[in-house]
Amino acid sequence: MEASIIRELETAVAAGRATTDPATLALYSYDAAAETRWPEMLLWPGNEEEVSAILRTASRERVPVYARGAATGRAGGATPDLGGIVLSFEKMDRIVEIDAANRQAVVEPGVRTGALKKAVALHGLFYPPDPASSDFTTIGGNIATGAGGLACLKYGTTKDYVQQLRVVLADGEVTTFGSKAQKSVTGYDLVHLLVGSEGTLGVIVQARLRLLPAPEKRATLLAEFGSVETAVEAVLRILAHPHVPCGLEFADRGTIECARRHAGADVTEGCAAVILLQADTAEAEADVRAFGRICAAAGSTRVLYSADPEEQEALWAVRRAFSPATQKAAKVKVSEDIGVPAARLRETLAGIYDIGRRHDRRILCYGHAGDGNIHVNILTDRRDDPAIPATVEELFRMVLGMGGTISGEHGIGSLKAPYIGLEIGPRELELMRRVKEVFDPHGILNPGKIFGTASRGHSGPSSR
């Protein structure tokens, strides 16, 4: 980037909110996918006017702009593949309004999801989206990735709670998509086009989110099983029950071992699988007891219940520890987040372990079993392990053969860009590219993501 452009961008933000200091840039060169690429400049805008000024310059000078929330993304979505600017939303972290009468909250993109959940709870309200990373992750990142999490089975994903967005377009113009009204079908649904667009169509500077009344009661169940098959059988029987738990989580033996070793999880040694669920109706305790009987009938070896808030938090802390605990199991953890129709979970999990055996790589699985969304963690000792691309490709082809998807909630970013054509047909992909061109004619917003022109991920499938 030329020095004159850097000087102009420095004046777009408040003093001290721009840097080209290499040590600081290094900290913003990766996300949770751990692929590294340095930006040339880092900016911390404080309001939408500053974001607009930055994008006007970036658009005129064709400088790549990478929006960044908390960088917990697992697909390399916030990694500055082509250098340019990283636009960090750490300073735009205000909860602007909690409108209890209309059950809505207006927030800046840098608000932490967990902080919003706590703030609305003080008003007797509930923001259901709950990625396992919610203590760190931002609303802007959640919207841009269409984040899922621990409560999707009953409450859906982030997209179901986004009502209106303030967006800075690639040329710097600020616009609003959606309405304050609870329902609106006026024109195309651009709000939900932006959800999951991974920073490639516009920069989100404010969001109006839907809220629900806080649940009356909560109760949690943890059930242990002697095999993955019996745990999946319990999942399927619970899904057939007329009452829906908020979330229905699964972990296999390898994941449990890591959680026991690194997070002190109170799970019986040698246990082959666990499921964890929460009910949050007025009959929550009765519901988890009913689910517990289902687990026992399916072959559970131990069922724990709790209606005590602290005990429940401890059980869910174990779930939140799965990701960091499995990270410690090997030098490199390649995390995929495939989704299948839940009815095909049994054969999907069997297929995953079979792929691991054939490629001689250890695979640990956990995730949102009730949604059919499993995090597949391939362990290896080197980032350039030649076995990984073939293992990932085989996994994706198997999952697609089950009617599934290569990403249930993490997005495509740059890591999965080489594989998008396995799932999305040429015509659909062409429509997506044209949408991208309409929003971002000069390709400055997160270049390299989704379509992969600058992808640095796995080498990609051997054939399409």
Ligand X SMILES: Cc1cc2nc3c(=O)[nH]c(=O)nc-3n(C[C@H](O)[C@H](O)[C@H](O)COP(=O)(O)OP(=O)(O)OC[C@H]3O[C@@H](n4cnc5c(N)ncnc54)[C@H](O)[C@@H]3O)c2cc1C
Stretch that binds ligand X, among 8-16, 145-153, 346-354, 453-461 (CB under 6 A): 145-153
- For residue 446, state whether it binds ligand X (rule: CB under 6 A): yes
- For residue 109, state whether it binds ligand X (rule: CB under 6 A): yes
Rule CB under 6 A: choose which of 58, 107, 111, 132 binds ligand X: 132
- For residue 352, state whether it binds ligand X (rule: CB under 6 A): no
Stretch that binds ligand X, among 55-63, 73-81, 338-346, 348-356 (CB under 6 A): 73-81
What track of x and - describes contact with ligand X for positions 402 through 421 (by CB under 6 A)? -------xx-----------
DSSP 232-293: HHHHHHHHTSSS--SEEEEEEHHHHHHHHHHH-----TT--EEEEEEE-STTHHHHHHHHHH
The CA distance from 129 to 295, in Å, is 26
CB 167 within 8 Å of CB 194: yes
CB 51 within 8 Å of CB 169: no
- For residue 149, state whether it binds ligand X (rule: CB under 6 A): yes
The CA distance from 433 to 417, in Å, is 13
- For residue 70, state whether it binds ligand X (rule: CB under 6 A): yes
Strands 85-88 and 65-68: parallel
- For residue 178, state whether it binds ligand X (rule: CB under 6 A): no
- For residue 249, state whether it binds ligand X (rule: CB under 6 A): no
- For residue 198, state whether it binds ligand X (rule: CB under 6 A): yes
- For residue 319, state whether it binds ligand X (rule: CB under 6 A): no
By the 10 Å C-beta count (0-12 exposed, 13-18 middle, 19+ buried), 414 is classed as: buried
Residues 19-38 contacting ligand X, CB under 6 A: 31-32
Those residues with Cβ within 8 angstroms of residue 460's Cβ, 6 or more apart along the chain or in another chain: 389, 393, 418, 419
CB 129 within 8 Å of CB 371: no
- For residue 154, state whether it binds ligand X (rule: CB under 6 A): no
Rule CB under 6 A: choose which of 128, 148, 292, 339 binds ligand X: 148
Rule CB under 6 A: choose which of 53, 55, 65, 66 binds ligand X: 66
For residue 73, what are its two tokens?
């993304």
Q: What does the binding site for ligand X look like in residue numbers (CB under 6 A)?
A: 31-32, 66-74, 77-78, 89, 109, 131-133, 137-138, 140-142, 144-145, 147-149, 198-199, 203-204, 323-324, 409-410, 446, 449
